[in-house]
A and B are shown apart, each in its own frame.
Chain A
Amino acid sequence: MRSLRRGIYSLLLTCGIFFPTALAAQSQQGSSPALNEQQTKGRILYNQNCRLCHTPEPERAKDPTPGKSVGPSLVGVFGPPRSRPEAVVRTFIQQGITDKMPGFRYGLQPAEMDAILAYLKTL
């Protein structure tokens, strides 16, 4: 399915149309796993809305040793042993958690939450 999508994107790219996807796709070169359009959008939204609290930064500059994060890491959130149901994670994003995490229902459209969920599944 993914290769099929990739093939369609390549065809559209070659034809010089479907440009916003092309521009987004160019920014996913490198060591990161290849992401589809929705996952790429989700990665962008994750970085803008989630990363600050959920991705550990190194404790000190220049040291690659991971430090702590404000909230829990979301790597593997859908896999064992955590195996969170998608509906639960979606509700967390929409409603937040009292006194711990703000709800994003006013700032993120449903399709944007879908994209974030799609990206989280790649982590």
Chain B
Amino acid sequence: MPRIPILLSVIGLFVVLVWVGLPVVETANLPSTGLMGTVKSADGKVMEGVTVSARDNAQTFTTSVYTDRDGQYYFPTLTDGRYKIWAQAVGFEMAGGEVAFSSGRKIEQNFTLRSTNDFSKQLSGAEWAESLPDSTPEDRRMKEIVHNNCTACHTAGFVLNKRFDAAGWKIVVDTMISEMTEPNTPANKLLTAYKDEIVEYLARVRGPNDGMKYKPFSRVTGDATQVVVTEYDIPRGDDASFRMFPNGSNWSEGIAGGDGGVLHDAVAATDGRVYFSDNTYPERTIGRLDPKTGIVTNFKLPDAKGLASRTHGVIPDPRGGVWFNNGTDGTIFKFDTANEKFQVFPKTAGGIRAGGHIEIDSKGNVFTSSPDAGIVKLDPATGKYTDYKALTPGGNPYGVAVDSEDNMWMAQLAGDRLMVVNSRNGEVGEFVFPPKMAGVSEKDQEIGKQSGAAGNSAPLYFSGPRRMGGDPKSDFIWVAEYWTGKLARINIRTREIKEYQMPSKYSHPYDVQVDKNQMVWINQMNGDRLTKFDPRAEKFTEYPLPSVGSETRHISIDDSTSQPTIWLAYSGLAKLARVEFRTNTASR
């Protein structure tokens, strides 16, 4: 008699376990409707940190999410349409399909990824650079020389995905010297000094035999998987149908070859749209993206010859409108987002030119770095410019920042120093980065003394302060050290510096911005990742980007959303990317 109840109890318990357990395992984190699924490897194990991308065939943007620790992914609300959907992870073949999506339905698209040994084209520039062999002192030195001379006009991957014998690499380096640099410039001198050694090293590691020690980065885990990245195609101003080949979406196609990347800086404005600069291609001075539709609108400010004026830096005005530098005539202008008109501010001749990065202080004054070694400030209320010259001339002026005291800072990238203008009295000072001489041979120090530095190449002991960001709530400014791969924190009062090594030394940190929660955000020119630094925990977190070869050179933060939203311009791929955070991971 008692056997039946016991058996029933056991069966009942099993049923309960199955009923409770299976959903917990398979759908615990998934919404009830939408596009979702699970990604596993061929051996049946769930895979975390896999990039899953979806693109409506009728749209010009791609949405990407990442699998969590259970291998599960889900997309945010999508519009109805027919979507291509694909999953990618370095070391695995892409898997994909096509689905018809309509709101209110639950559509599961699961993937099984098969591993492959042929993955080098999937690597980011930082991974390519990390993979250069460095097991001997000689190779470690050559790795640094390649990093400091061959990875700044383009990513490391653009160079290292090629293989030539010594004769071939010699032609490449000779061409770089003769066609891509000017005589007697630092880049020319450095390449000439290191030519024979670079040729020997590259022919050994990327020649008839492949000597690379491939080191793909681990896939992201935990909180770093909880992001949604939307990448918008941005056509050229003179070609509305322009697309790149490859465009970074299919990693197995490799890093793009620079066939028309048009973007440099982009910011979200108070009207909810994103404005970007264009310093290269015809017929567009600035562009505007509507993030809801992906529609791009171009605006042209003609110069004296009727060509579109060049722009580089852009900053939104919290009072409305967007500010740009005019790289053609060396002035600053405002774009009125309401009436779509340019407001120009002529500058009297004889002063220094506005250019490069642009910032705005708490009083509404706008300022830029000047290629003539200084800072140009505009008071929009009066239209009056004020010029400030750096104590040390030259040095390739570039990034600017405003600190919590409204002091203006400017980076002299090739001078390893910062210029600072006191907001109260206009006094000019400077901060000099300590040279990184440890481990640098006398020979390399001498080569550095003879050559000097440029924006895109430098001696081995240079830090390379490129762009920077101020924190309005603290005594610090933050600086991206391009050559060392470090993030520098400088106290605006004591001038004390503290440096933090980024997760990848070869990622080329380019720009830094601080959000409303005082988190520090850094973009990587050479890596396809976005980096957050928590100053309190002194901890880095890296978030993945869905395209290979993004080559970002600017980062901006939209603090109007509950969690800060990050905007990135892909200089290497002609895309704008929006990074949104699903949880409060962005603030911790």
Taken together as a complex, chains A and B put the C-alpha atoms of A120 and B226 apart, in Å, by: 43
Question: Is A61 engaged at the interface, CB distance under 8 Å to the other chain?
Answer: yes
Interface of B is mostly: loop
* Complex partner residue of A102 from B57, B168, B253, B282, CB under 8 angstroms: B168
Q: CA separation between A23 and B54, bound complex, in Å?
A: 11
Looking at the assembled complex, report how far the CB atom of B42 sits from the nearest CB atom of chain A, in whole angstroms: 17
Which of A1-9, A14-22, A74-82, A84-92 is the interface stretch? A14-22
- B162 contacts the other chain (CB 8 A): yes
Task: Judge whether B308 and A62 touch: CB under 8 Å.
Answer: yes
**A19, B249: Cβ atoms closer than 8 Å:** no
Q: Is B141 part of the binding interface, using a Cβ–Cβ cutoff of 8 Å?
A: no
How big is the B interface, by class?
A: 35 or more
Q: Tell me, in angstroms, the Cα distance from A106 to B161 when the chains sit together.
A: 11
Residue contact A28 to B243, C-beta cutoff 8 Å: yes
Report yes or no: B257 in contact with A49, Cβ–Cβ below 8 A. yes
Cα A53 to Cα B154 in complex, Å, equals 15
B169 sits at the interface (CB 8 A): yes
Within 8 A of A (CB), among B197-212: 206-208
Q: Are A27 and B168 in contact (CB under 8 A)?
A: no
Chain B 79-91 interface mask (CB, 8 Å, partner A; 1/0): 0000010100000
Is B98 touching A27 in the complex (CB atoms < 8 A)? no
Q: Which residues of A contact B175 (CB under 8 A)?
A: 53, 70
CA distance A12 to B95 in the complex (A): 15
In the complex, chain A residues whose CB is within 8 Å of the CB of B253: 24, 44
* Contact of A31 with B by CB under 8 A: yes
A61 touches B94 (CB 8 A): no
Interface residues in A, total, Cβ within 8 A = 42
- Tell me how far the C-beta of B195 lies from the nearest C-beta in chain A, rounded to whole angstroms: 14
Q: Which residues of B contact A (CB under 8 A)?
A: 55, 57, 84, 86, 94-99, 158, 161-165, 167-169, 171-172, 175, 179, 206-208, 235, 238-247, 249-250, 252-259, 279-282, 303, 307-310, 327-328
6 interchain residue pairs of minimum CB distance: A30-B241, A102-B168, A19-B96, A47-B257, A107-B163, A106-B163
* Residues of A in contact with B (beta carbons under 8 Å apart): 13, 16-17, 19-20, 22-24, 26-32, 40, 43-44, 46-49, 51-53, 55, 58, 61-64, 70, 96, 98-104, 106-107
Can you report 13 residue pairs joining A to B where beta carbons are below 8 Å apart?
A19-B94, A20-B94, A20-B252, A24-B250, A27-B249, A30-B240, A47-B244, A58-B282, A62-B280, A64-B282, A96-B168, A103-B168, A106-B163
Q: With contacts A48-B257, A102-B165, A106-B164 known, what are 17 further pairs, Cβ within 8 A? A: A16-B97, A20-B96, A23-B94, A26-B57, A30-B239, A32-B241, A40-B245, A47-B256, A48-B255, A52-B258, A55-B259, A62-B281, A64-B282, A100-B171, A102-B168, A103-B165, A106-B165
